Structure 1
Amino acid sequence: VFEQIAELAMEYKTGARSLRGIFEELITPILYLIPDNPEICKVEISSLFEDARYFRRK
């Protein structure tokens, strides 16, 4: 995921602020979802182009 973010920033010829913006766009929905769902114990982000995977407690 970090390589994909860096590649996007290089493609758009942007700096660190753009990296931060891309990362925030990716993680913000997750940050709002997790507190409302205490059953979630793990989140896996494998690609910018796929939805995150949520793992629930057993």
Structure 2
Amino acid sequence: MNWNMFGLAFFVILSFVLVGFAIGQQLFWLAVLLFLAGFAIMGFGLSKKRKQQNA
């Protein structure tokens, strides 16, 4: 099992879960920040996976 990729996937899911929590608390600025962070982490993981497959 690749623990680095598992950790990245865990943080992506956690950030999107926290988006729902932030919306529930009406902290829309935090929801936007977590939403962007989730996509940034996902993009980092995908680029890391692509580099790993090409090497």
Class of the TM-score when normalised by the shorter of the 2 chains: 0.3 to 0.5
Whose relative contact order is higher, 1 or 2, with alpha carbons under 8 Å and at least 6 apart? 2
Higher helix share: 2
Higher strand share: 1
